[in-house]
Amino acid sequence: MTFAASAWLGLLALVPVLWLVLWRAGRAADARLNRLLGPRARGHVEHATATSRSWRRFFLLGAVTCLVLALARPQWGASEVTVVQRGTDVVVALDVSSSMLAEDVTPNRLIRARAELGTFLDGYDLGQVGLVLFAGQAFVQCPLTLDLGAVRLFLDMSDTDMISTQGTALAAALTTAADLLDGGEGGRPDVRRAVILVTDGEDLEGAWEEAAARCDERGITVFPVGVGTPEGSVIPETEGGGGVIKDPQGNVVVSRLDLASLEKLAEASGGSVFRIGPGPLDRERLHRLLSGLGARDLQDRRISAFKERYAWPLALALIFLLARFLIRPRGVSTPALALLALVALALPADARAVDLLDRQAAAVAEGADLYRDGRYGEALARFQKLRAERPDDPRLALAVGEALWRLDRHEEAAREFTRALSLSDDPDLRAESLYNLGTTSLASGQPDAAAQALREAAALEPDRPDVLTNLELAQRMLEMAQQQQDQQEGDQKQDQQQQDRQDQQQGDGDQQQQGDQDQQDQQQGDQDQQDQQSQDQQQQEDQQPDDQQQDDQQQDQQSQEDQQQQDQQEQGNDEPQPQDQQDQSQEQPEPKPGEQEVTPESMSKERAESILKGMDREEEELKRSLKQRLKGAKPRSGRRW
């Protein structure tokens, strides 16, 4: 067995990578499902889901492998066949005279011509090519052949030293090329051939006009290709150390492109003139003119051809794809055509529900076309008309709901999705209805209802990424709503606490104010008491002069009594007197004014000591009185010094 396009086999290296991607995607889907549904995930998804998923992955990889093998075109069972190749014969006649060494084009005319012709041959596939070199004479460098690589090799070997006779024998070149094209078999008038004549057109020798006419008669078209510029250039010597070629008179030879002669040559043979000068050869135009000449049977070959066997892996790939489609995530379902029921929804419901409808019905097809064209109002009218005829068809309810969704009538769309859910027992239809219902609830700002519907859809189709994406979005919206509610409750609680603090502060303020009032009242009472004490003290002080006056009188009386007693003692010669006499003497009245006063000189020692002792007692009494007055007590004696 061989492969005609074995390069495609390199894609088989991507099959393990695809398996790894699918395996990781399945693991990621399981992780997301567990994260969204928690412990309930396994209860919602049957235990056979993992097995069916593995089979679906296997069939997908098998289908991809078989498709790659079909692209590589496997072949076996060889058989011999005859291949007839058709094309146009072309001979390239290249001028290798010394004038082709002129450097008016870079690097010189010959090297530039070989490069342009080589590029032309690389893209040529119209037939056989031969090569003729000419200068003063012409010869065949390479016969006609389909091996363009060999022609290219001989072309690269071409140089001016290959022909010793110099000149431009154009007639000889045309004749040699025509004989090569005829191949000794004579011309074929129904198919023309071509000669590509590459030269500078200078110093043409021989009867080139007659040779061009004979080429036209033999069915050969000549396409002259002029190399160089009309301004020309000197011709460097190949030998002699860098000099230039001169004529016999010693003048420097300047070679110029002769376009006029080349145009006459093209006109004589029915061809066109091309140039290799400042610009490149117009290869596309030359290919186009050569292909217009016609083609002939070039050669018959018998080859061994292998039979194409790509149909076998292609058929096997289709079987794998069908088997993968039949195995759904929750087990084997009905045939594939009956399962084309869901809506290809990116957000939230695309046109897969339209594909659920019966495509053989013209009305359904018309509604589907209107839906795809974005004419949702007209599509809704078609679907509602069909549903009136088939009210129990859940697919029509799904289609009506999606059309309503597109018209932004979300509440009505939700009712239709609920209706489709109640009418269908098919897991796929239920999954799609639940998904659309959840997405509609999500768009309507009902994340709790959306999460409930999307959880059920994820349980039916755990591998569907858009279900998991929207479910995650619904969960996030629920979390945000819960956070907002918690924040509001926290704000309310904080406001209540702040209000309580304000009330407490106000109560503390009232209590403090009451305490301040009580303190003020107490201070006022203390102040009143102090004022009353001050008034009493003032009254006492006001009474002190009277008391002091009374004390003074008593003191004077006491002094008089003391004086009388002293006088009596002196009169009685210091004899003791009876007690009654002393009392009588004390009761005597005070001396009247005008009586003789007692002086210190007349006072006895005993009398003086008695007076001093009395003064000491009065001093002590006065000190005790002062201390009591300082303590606030009422004074006991009014005597003063």
- Domain 340-490, what architecture? Alpha Horseshoe (1.25)
What average pLDDT score do residues 184-199 get? 73
Q: Which residues have a Cβ under 8 Å from the Cβ of 568 and sit 6 or more positions away?
A: 577, 585
What average pLDDT score do residues 302-330 get? 77
pLDDT bin (cut points 50, 70, 90) of residue 300 is low
pLDDT: is 42 or 117 the higher one? Answer: 117
Q: What's the CA gap between 174 and 196, in Å, rounded?
A: 10
For 387, 503, 504, the CA distances from 492, given in Å and listed in that order, are: 52, 16, 18
Q: Which residues have a Cβ under 8 Å from the Cβ of 271 and sit 6 or more positions away?
A: 194, 221, 222, 223, 224, 265, 289
Q: What percentage of the chain carries pLDDT values higher than 90?
A: 9
Contact (Cβ atoms closer than 8 angstroms) between residue 364 and residue 386: yes
pLDDT: is 534 or 321 the higher one? Answer: 321
Question: For 482-501, what is each residue's pLDDT tens digit?
Answer: 777 777 777 777 777 777 77
Asked if pLDDT for residue 450 goes beyond 70, the answer is yes
Q: How many CB atoms lie within 10 A of CB 33?
A: 23
Q: What is the pLDDT at residue 399?
A: 83
Most confident of 32-46, 461-475, 575-589: 461-475
Q: What's the CA gap between 267 and 222, in Å, rounded?
A: 9
Would you give the DSSP letter of residue 252?
A: B
Residue 385 phi/psi, 5-degree rounding, is -65, -40
pLDDT bin (cut points 50, 70, 90) of residue 627 is low
Q: What is the pLDDT at residue 632?
A: 47
What average pLDDT score do residues 342-369 get? 47
Residue type, 596: Q
- For domain 86-240+251-300, give the CATH number: 3.40.50.410
Asked if pLDDT for residue 431 goes beyond 90, the answer is no
Asked if pLDDT for residue 638 goes beyond 70, the answer is no
Asked if pLDDT for residue 187 goes beyond 60, the answer is no
pLDDT: is 529 or 568 the higher one? Answer: 529
Tokens, residue 344: 């290809």
Q: What is the pLDDT at residue 241?
A: 61
Tokens, residue 103: 């450097």
Q: What's the CA gap between 389 and 49, in Å, rounded?
A: 38
Least confident of 49-53, 518-522, 582-586: 582-586
Question: For 506-538, what is each residue's pLDDT tens digit?
Answer: 766 566 666 566 666 666 666 666 666 666 555
Least confident of 78-87, 228-237, 420-429: 78-87
pLDDT: is 262 or 584 the higher one? Answer: 262
Q: What's the CA gap between 546 and 531, in Å, rounded?
A: 23
pLDDT bin (cut points 50, 70, 90) of residue 345 is very low
Q: What's the CA gap between 215 and 271, in Å, rounded?
A: 11
Residue 198's beta-bridge partner residues?
Answer: 94, 225
What average pLDDT score do residues 235-246 get? 74
For 245, 437, 486, the CA distances from 490, given in Å and listed in that order, are: 107, 34, 6
The CA-based dihedral angle spanning residues 151, 157, 159, 165, taken in that order and rounded to the nearest 10 degrees: -70
Q: What is the pLDDT at residue 196?
A: 94
pLDDT: is 247 or 59 the higher one? Answer: 59
Asked if pLDDT for residue 418 goes beyond 70, the answer is yes
Q: What's the CA gap between 38 and 455, in Å, rounded?
A: 11
For 109, 136, 199, 218, the CA distances from 233, given in Å and listed in that order, are: 10, 21, 15, 37
Q: Which residues have a Cβ under 8 Å from the Cβ of 146 and sit 6 or more positions away?
A: 85, 87, 127, 128, 298, 299
Residue 306's beta-bridge partner residues?
Answer: 78
What average pLDDT score do residues 619-631 get? 65
Q: What is the pLDDT at residue 456?
A: 82
Taking all residues of the chain, what is their mean pLDDT, rounded to a whole number? 74
The sign one gets for the Cα dihedral 22, 23, 25, 26 is positive
Most confident of 144-153, 197-206, 305-314: 144-153
Q: What's the CA gap between 614 and 597, in Å, rounded?
A: 19
Residue 219 burial by Cβ neighbours in a 10 Å radius (0-12, 13-18, 19+): buried
Least confident of 41-50, 116-125, 318-327, 462-471: 41-50
pLDDT: is 57 or 556 the higher one? Answer: 57
Q: Which residues have a Cβ under 8 Å from the Cβ of 240 and sit 6 or more positions away?
A: none
What average pLDDT score do residues 34-54 get? 58
Length of the chain: 641
Q: What is the pLDDT at residue 575?
A: 42
Residue type, 543: Q
pLDDT: is 143 or 326 the higher one? Answer: 143
- Of residues 72, 62, 95, 65, the one with CA closest to residue 4: 72
Q: How many CB atoms lie within 10 A of CB 569?
A: 18
Strands 220-227 and 331-332, bridge-based pairing = unpaired
What average pLDDT score do residues 248-256 get? 80
Residue 380 phi/psi, 5-degree rounding, is -60, -40
What average pLDDT score do residues 155-161 get? 89
